[in-house]
A and B are shown apart, each in its own frame.
Chain A
Amino acid sequence: MQSDECEDYLESIINKSISDKKGSSLDILSKIIGKTQSEIKEDLLELETLGYIIFEDDDKIALTEKGRKTGECTIKKHRVLESFLTEMLGMEPDAASKEACILEHGASDDTIKRLKTYLGGPGRCRRGRAMQEGHFQRSGCMGIPLTSFAENETVRILYTKGKAGCTNRLHDLGVIPGETIEIKRRLSNGAMVVVIKSCEVGLSPEIADSVFVWKI
């Protein structure tokens, strides 16, 4: 078995809390891996011989120390890559997750470590908004405030900053990272009417200023 496939198995066993090789568990695994149930059963036996898992009482699956470590490491890589893809590159969360699934096997531990540092150091504050801004600025990958765009431009949201009271309303209306918005009207002071999720929303300048976007 290829090592990526082996990692995929371990990742899924942890993520989906799989503890036996009964029908439902095999079902889940066969969906993720894309193999038939009998093939999965064979693979699981191979994993045992490789020392990643142990079968207890014949049906129960337990991870060995080695298996747990490998699986968790893969999950960590997946998360780092996923957040890089969504936050830095503005990918859709679903697509990012799929992409991360492929990349996680090839990326070295060092690359992941560096990516993680790049994504933001320690000492971030709670409620994350101020931190997001600082984090984007540090990484030199700062979005551009919505107010700097002109009418009829379409942009993709990177992040929003500001107090919970107003960002919550923005989130509820669909202003979340990855969404696209179209600027329908822009007044000289920066107030705008934008189209989001096919609804028109009027934003005052300070709100529009707190939405950071990328042009697509």
Chain B
Amino acid sequence: MLFLKFGLIGNPNVGKSLIFNLLTGIGVEISNFPGTTIDMFSGNVCYQREKFEIVDFPGIYSLDGVSEEESEVRKCLINKDVDILIAVLDAAHLERNLYLLLQIAEFEIPTVVLLNMTDEAEKSGLFIDAEKLSEIFNCEFLKTAAIEGRNVDKIIPLALNDAKVPKYKVPYDSHIEAAVRSLQKISGCKRIEALYALEEIGDDTELLDSAKTIAEEIEEQHKMSVHQIIAANRHNIAGKISDEVSKKDKKTTSANLDRLLTRTFPGVPIMAAVLLSTLLCVFIVGSFLEETIVGLFDVYLIEPLFTLGLSPFWEQILYSLLIAVEAGLGIAFPFVFVFYIIISVLEDTGYMTRAAFLADRAMHRVGMHGQALIPMVLGFGCNVPALMSIRQLSKRERFIASFLITMVPCSARTVIIAGIVAVFVGITAALSIYLIVFILIFLTGLVLTKVAPGEQFGMILEIVPMRRPRVKQTLKRAWLHMKEFLFIAMPLLLVSSVFLGVLQYTGVIQAFQDIFAPLMLSLLGLPDYASTSLLFGILRKEMAFETLAILAGTADLGSVMTSAQLYIFAVVSVLFVPCVSTIAVLYKEMGLKIAAVISFYTLCLGIIAGIILNLIFSLV
């Protein structure tokens, strides 16, 4: 039998990922779908001893949109990259979801449709006639409630045995229909290709050219863009079908928290409190876990390593590996995991979209939209997952966000600020470093809004209904994020750590120190061992602090360095090049060029800030 591929498709927030998780269990791999730039989850499912692949497409509102997700999904459907589509609709918002289904039908791929969240719809008194829908679209509709697991077991058998090409054709405006007919006649293309050509979508330049002339005429006549006409036709039909098949029992007006959450007051204070307590919680729980894990590592793995009496080369390599694993599991893991659990709760309840709505105004100043709030907040925990979560932003915002997030003081940098400055210089001085960093982030944002490529669109963000989070679902979501971290960031961390280890073994690092030490002294006023510890800071940010203590020969840094030196050291290492894992993720998400530019930029920023501070301190 052929190796069949299923594709899960639907609007954002319809429970697609949950269904995906339920179907695939935990055997999920994140893969770049062939020829795409965005990540799609794909996993395997076994049914009657056959293995099938399921791809979870990103949530989309439409297939003729211009966003990256929309065009990628469209490409997959055009190329028939999947054999059977499983369309997931939100029963509570049927009309808007039918709009997408009408478009899916045009691709003529065998489909089964899930009416998900039936539980929620029925609770609000909305009943949908699935049989009538099946008749209209000539394909199977299955009522599911993924949260309760209702009917989830029927999905794969239904998709395997009863998937049919949906037959519904939207009758478009007569001009559009005429244009499609004549384009089909001219170039012999399919109906859907002609339709998309009118919207300037496609690869066939000849077809696009002839479509353009016709489209101009239509737009002239209608005084609407073709997309608008087509969208209006589809919405009309979707509305009609939805009215035909749904029965509304009673109108329930539930007490709405939004009264509080989306207003400036008390919404903003609530948001500040939520974010702050998130950070605090992550910090407290995270550092507890970190201490435990790092302690165990040191005692049971790193110390025994040195007693083995291996050759210096292997000792160095193994040490680098262990350090990297320790950094990943000991530092990133606790913070990242706790963070993701909290973030998943906030996402599942629907609070995040409300916070993003409120934060839009502030984010705007630095060239981003409310949606970018979540990654920025994540950055305080660890930059790595933060950078992974910017995929949903537009290209321009991703560009800006990648710079700004890299500068957000993550928990490891907080360790430096707290461990060096707060302890030896004073709390106010420590807080002033945060201030410096925030000002620099803000200024960088201001500059980037001017130079970033692309145009800034406003925020159009669906505010998802408030829901009570479910423990299992939340943990699953957090785990899914975690897996991404473990399987993508960790290998990168291991490789780069070994690389640094080799450099150290071959003496490159020593040479580096010899070259830069005089510079460090003259420009930053720092002792020579400071440059080595800064270099270690690249591997793991708070290692800058640890190595400084080791190299200085004392944990009482106040006795060997002046307050000014400590302050400068902290500022430089906080701003200085992101850690290896961050660079690696930057490289993966944004490409070599941007990763290099950001590293270079932060390097310059750190050193320049250090030089300026050194000048100020020497003058005072």
Contacts and interface: CB of A to CB of B under 8 A. Distances in A.
B463 A191 contact: no
A206 interface: yes
A185 B219 contact: no
A177 B228 CA distance: 9
A120 B361 contact: no
B496 to A, nearest CB: 37
Contact of B361 (A163, A178, A191, A203): A191
B228 A176 contact: yes
Nearest to B11: A199
Contact of A171 (B231, B263, B369): B231
B435 interface: no
A203 B370 CA distance: 10
Contacts of A68: none
Contact of B458 (A79, A166, A179): A166
Contacts of A165: 66-67, 455, 457
A202 B66 contact: no
A107 to B, nearest CB: 18
Contacts of B258: 184-185, 193
Contact of A193 (B216, B264, B357): B357
Nearest to B242: A197
Contact of B227 (A164, A179, A200, A210): A164
Given A199-B462, A204-B370, A124 B66 contact: no
B223 A191 contact: no
Nearest to A179: B235
Contact of A200 (B216, B219, B364, B463): B463
B235 A176 contact: yes
Nearest to B363: A204
B400 to A, nearest CB: 16
Given A174-B235, A204-B369, A169 B223 contact: no
Contacts of B462: 173, 199-202
A26 interface: no
A74 interface: no
A163 B457 contact: yes
Contacts of B361: 187, 189, 191
A166 to B, nearest CB: 4
Nearest to A196: B96
B236 interface: yes
Interface in A102-157: 119-120, 124, 126-129, 131-132, 135
Contacts of B96: 173-174, 197-199
Nearest to A187: B264
Contacts of B224: 128, 132, 159, 177
B565 interface: no
Given A93-B232, A93-B236, A119-B223, A204 B95 contact: no
Nearest to B463: A200
Interface in B229-278: 231-232, 235-236, 239, 258, 262-264
Nearest to A119: B223
Given A15-B174, A163-B455, A191-B360, A169 B67 contact: yes
Contacts of B95: 174, 197-198
Given A15-B174, A93-B236, A198-B93, A167 B458 contact: no
Interface string B330-357: 0000000000000000000000010011
Contacts, number: 153
A173 B61 contact: yes
B225 interface: yes
A83 B223 contact: yes
A94 interface: yes
Contacts of A174: 95-96, 99, 235
A185 B458 contact: no
B231 A188 contact: no
Given A83-B222, A202-B353, A171 B227 contact: yes
B357 A191 contact: yes
Contacts of B228: 128, 160, 167, 171, 176-177
Interface string B44-87: 00000000000000000110111100000000000000000000
B88 to A, nearest CB: 16
Nearest to A174: B235
A125 to B, nearest CB: 9
A122 B276 CA distance: 57
A178 to B, nearest CB: 7
B431 interface: no
B225 A87 contact: no
Interface in B447-466: 455, 457-465
Interface in A82-103: 83, 87, 93-94
Contacts of A160: 228
A168 interface: yes
B66 A168 contact: yes
Contact of A207 (B67, B93, B459): B459
A34 to B, nearest CB: 20
B458 A206 contact: yes
A205 B228 CA distance: 22
A94 B171 CA distance: 13
B70 to A, nearest CB: 9
B447 to A, nearest CB: 21
Nearest to A171: B231
B463 A193 contact: yes
B148 interface: no
A188 B360 CA distance: 13
A42 interface: no
Contacts of B223: 83, 87, 119-120, 124, 128, 131-132, 135
The 9 closest A-B pairs by CB, nearest first: A207-B458, A171-B231, A172-B62, A204-B459, A202-B357, A200-B463, A204-B458, A166-B457, A202-B461
23 contacts: A119-B223, A126-B219, A128-B222, A132-B223, A163-B457, A165-B67, A168-B227, A168-B231, A169-B62, A169-B457, A169-B460, A170-B460, A171-B227, A172-B231, A187-B263, A201-B461, A202-B353, A202-B356, A202-B360, A202-B461, A202-B463, A204-B364, A207-B457
Given A127-B219, A187-B358, A207-B460, 16 more contacts: A83-B221, A124-B220, A163-B455, A164-B225, A164-B227, A167-B225, A167-B227, A171-B231, A173-B460, A177-B232, A179-B235, A189-B361, A197-B93, A198-B96, A203-B460, A210-B458
Interface of B: 61-62, 64-67, 93, 95-96, 99, 174, 216, 219-225, 227-228, 231-232, 235-236, 239, 258, 262-264, 353, 356-358, 360-361, 364, 369-370, 455, 457-465
